[in-house]
Structure 1
Amino acid sequence: MSSSGISRRNVLVLTGLTGAATAGLLRGGVAHATEGPSGYTPSWSSVDQHPPAPEWFQDAKFGIYYHWGAYSVPSFGNEWYPRLMYKAGDGCNTHHKATYGDPSAWPYHNFILGARDKAGNFVQFAPKLKSAGGNFDPDEWAQLFADAGAKFAGPVAEHHDGFSLWNSAVNEWNSVAKGPGLDLLRLHADAIRRKGLKLWVSLHHAYNFLGYFDSVPAQSDSGLKKLYGQLGRAAEQQLWLDKLKEVIDGYQPDILYQDFALNQLDESKRLEFLAYYYNRAVAWNKDVVATYKMPNRSQDGSGLHITMPSASAPFSAPAYVFKLTFSGQIPPLKAGPLPTSWVKIGNVANGLALDSGGGVASGSVVKQWTFTDGSANLQWQLADAGNGYHRIVNRTNGMVIDSLGDATAGANPRQAAWSGSNNQQWKISDIGNGRYTIANRSTGTYLDSGGDVSVGTAVKLWPADSSSNLQWSITSI
């Protein structure tokens, strides 16, 4: 079983990334070859001189990176399969023993070298190019990214599993020497750049020797020691740096992202990496980004929330990129400022629009009607009343919607001339997906359609709940 074509199983993560550029690897900067210094030394005072973000990155807004490697072959769990297959009681461990055998007899590196599973099938991470009769076409992948609107894209060139997807001279566990026999990073990089996109390269290799394989038995073979992160701290840190230098020199990434655990590396190594990358960027006359994963980030309908670990270095840097990982539907962001022109206010539950009834007397109820002819009776203006509140003004009669201070559940809002009373002021809250709630300042109750009602039914006021009866769309006319 080879792993080659694009599918949900073997492209484990496609992640959108947005934001202002980062200060990089634990207080580093963003290299800007044409505007920054002409050279850098491995010190914070030097690398901190970088401008906060290249112009191209500020304009890009959206990019894609993806996990694809030997861990894709079992098509079970995710890219953490190599670790979890060794964890007794984990689902990956149970699956592995049932499908391949006990990890002590059928280790992770069998997915790289190739071996038979318990059913007799030969399994190996060995994608073959379409031009060679296989299913893998990097140009198809790059076209997918371009069609999605990405401005930068690229692979995880090495995950925590220690298998390099480039032609490495410092790591014999690479995709040219073993497995595919292909320089996968080169193939991806060239295809992505042919589409006019910037190249993202993701390297997650620090955690390889900092805990990922903590349940793998001690290895006696020197090569397996390297794969499973058992060389010892000094050798592992040098290997971490040497791999970075290979990727920098061989592929000239526009963005080089690293995952977590960098704070466990010696500061001198981190600084050596940053200075090396930034100096190479000066030589290329390229604007590059060095970035890494930040902790304590979340997003909801009100926006992006970041909690920095501390206010001191390295977290005092001027700008960061944040990677957001979501489970399920991405929380919606706010739609932006409310329209200042005339609008239709339509109910989400029944599709009917707020209707004044036209030239009616003060104290008349607010009704609901089908918005077909664009009558001015169904058009409203959301006029700023200050302090985050609005008055809702009808186009036909000029009156505003008024709760009259009646907080009774089911009370009917009325219409009256504007007096400035809190009864006539409304908090309009964006709850995402083009939906709003409309709450009265005086009573705290919400405009409520009553649900599936007939045309001409009066609008009610109701305490807050999650019903779509209390949710409205606001559309400029």
Structure 2
Amino acid sequence: MVTTPLSTTTTTNGTSSSTQVTTVMTVAKIASGKTKPGATNWQVNSNGLLVDVDTSAAGFTRTPIYVTSIGGDKYHWGVTGASAVYNATEKGFRIAIRFEGDFTGVAITPEAANDYKWHINWIAVEPWLEEGQLPSTQTPSTATTTTPSSTVPVVGKYYNLIGKESNKALDVQGTSTADGANVYIWTRSNVPNQQWQLQDAGGGYYYLIARHSGKALAVTGGSQDNGGNILQWTKQDRDFFKWRLEDAGDGYFYLIAKHSGKVADVYNHATADGSNVAQWTKVGTADNQKWKFVPV
């Protein structure tokens, strides 16, 4: 969270006084990625190179705050401009680079940049509130802070995933550590087969790793169908292991499978222990598709 102090002025009996008000910019989504080293689409600019970075896979709904840097095997340390973002939108941004004025001896061309594996690393943060904006239910004279509507999941930490409709936890059946072990809901308890770690999968997607087994949440066989079962499997760099988090309101998120665009769903709105979890087309009013990340 980023706090932004605001200064407002009130007048009482002709006397002005300054009131310091603090608002909190809460975060709707965090994503990160990089262009492909050795295959970045560098273009010739007037005095250097530029690249347009596509972040549309992150699914931002408003322009996020982008933080960027340049990586590479050599000579990238002599470049300037890699942290200056141009033409930022919810779908991407532009970076223009050139060598520092006292750096000589190496031509800056798209071919050379890719030979040196130059690439752009980025992190993006989408706020729920614009900077300096107060919530509509508060006024400057009474506001102190706003409270985030959800826990923003952090890469590397463990969480219980709690279904909104059932108030039960996403659980690996029988604490199994085997590939193909089923995933369902169960009454929440302090057990590692209900604890999931977020790992960055690139492009705004994540792996969800079961603490007890070290295996990843996946859709069986890469199914595209409604009802495709969700289970654990040894992590692979395949789209049916990757999940995007989308705000569902009230502190909950949809878990959206990259390969199918479908969400993790408790089958048939069941709420009993042992009720199965599968992928299904997102239905905005369906609470059996909404999950809260509760830190453990």
1:341 alignment counterpart: 157
Amino acid across the alignment from 1:461: Q
2:167 alignment counterpart: 351
SS class of match (1:253): strand
Once the two structures are TM-superposed, the CA of residue 388 in structure 1 deviates from its matched residue by 1.1
TM score, norm. by length of structure 1: 0.34
Distance in 1 separating the partners of 2:153 and 2:236: 25
**1:334/1:431 contact within 8 Å kept:** no
**2:263/2:280 contact within 8 Å kept:** yes
Distance in 2 separating the partners of 1:435 and 1:444: 18
Amino acid across the alignment from 2:238: S
**2:252/2:290 contact within 8 Å kept:** yes
Distance in 2 separating the partners of 1:355 and 1:334: 21
1:420 alignment counterpart: 237
Distance in 2 separating the partners of 1:379 and 1:401: 12
Once the two structures are TM-superposed, the CA of residue 252 in structure 1 deviates from its matched residue by 3.3
1:462 to 280, 283, 286: 280
**1:342/1:380 contact within 8 Å kept:** yes
2:205 alignment counterpart: 389
Query: RMSD across aligned C-alpha pairs, in angstroms?
Result: 3.1
Report the structure, 1 or 2, having the larger strand content. 2
SS class of match (2:180): coil
User: Which protein has the larger Cα radius of gyration, Structure 1 or Structure 2?
Assistant: 1
Q: Is 1:303 equivalent to 2:120 in the alignment?
A: no
**1:428/1:438 contact within 8 Å kept:** yes
Encode CA deviations 1:157-201: one digit per residue, 9 max, x unaligned.
6xxxxxxxxxxxxxxxxxxxxxxxxxxx34xxxxxxxxxxxxxxx
Distance in 2 separating the partners of 1:468 and 1:302: 24
Change (3 A) 1:380 1:254: same
1:444 alignment counterpart: 261
Matches within 5 A, 1:105-120: none
Report the structure, 1 or 2, having the larger helix content. 1
2:293 alignment counterpart: 474
2:16 alignment counterpart: 252
Q: Give unpaired runs (5+ residues) of structure 2.
A: 21-125, 139-145
Matches within 5 A, 1:158-307: 185-186=12-13, 247=14, 251-254=15-18, 303-304=128-129
SS class of match (2:182): coil
Distance in 2 separating the partners of 1:321 and 1:456: 46
Ranges of 4+ aligned residues in structure 1 off by more than 3 Å:
18-21, 320-327, 330-337
Change (3 A) 1:414 1:321: closer
SS class of match (2:288): helix
Q: Percent identity?
A: 22
**2:182/2:232 contact within 8 Å kept:** yes
Once the two structures are TM-superposed, the CA of residue 331 in structure 1 deviates from its matched residue by 11
Encode CA deviations 1:194-241: one digit per residue, 9 max, x unaligned.
xxxxxxxxxxxxxxxxxxxxxxxxxxxxxxxxxxxxxxxxxxxxxxxx
1:377 to 189, 193, 205: 193
1:433 alignment counterpart: 250
Distance in 1 separating the partners of 2:294 and 2:132: 34
**1:332/1:433 contact within 8 Å kept:** no
Change (3 A) 1:375 1:153: farther
Amino acid across the alignment from 1:347: G
**1:447/1:470 contact within 8 Å kept:** yes
SS class of match (1:254): strand
TM score, norm. by length of structure 2: 0.53
Once the two structures are TM-superposed, the CA of residue 334 in structure 1 deviates from its matched residue by 5.8
The number of aligned residues is: 178
Distance in 2 separating the partners of 1:321 and 1:344: 33
Distance in 2 separating the partners of 1:380 and 1:393: 5
Matches within 5 A, 1:43-122: 57=7
SS class of match (1:304): coil
Change (3 A) 1:335 1:344: closer
Amino acid across the alignment from 1:370: T
Encode CA deviations 1:42-65: one digit per residue, 9 max, x unaligned.
xxxxxxxxxxxxxxx4xxxxxxxx
Once the two structures are TM-superposed, the CA of residue 407 in structure 1 deviates from its matched residue by 1.8
Once the two structures are TM-superposed, the CA of residue 440 in structure 1 deviates from its matched residue by 0.4
Change (3 A) 1:368 1:335: closer
SS class of match (2:222): coil
- The higher relative CO (CA closer than 8 Å, separation ≥ 6) is in 2
**1:332/1:432 contact within 8 Å kept:** no
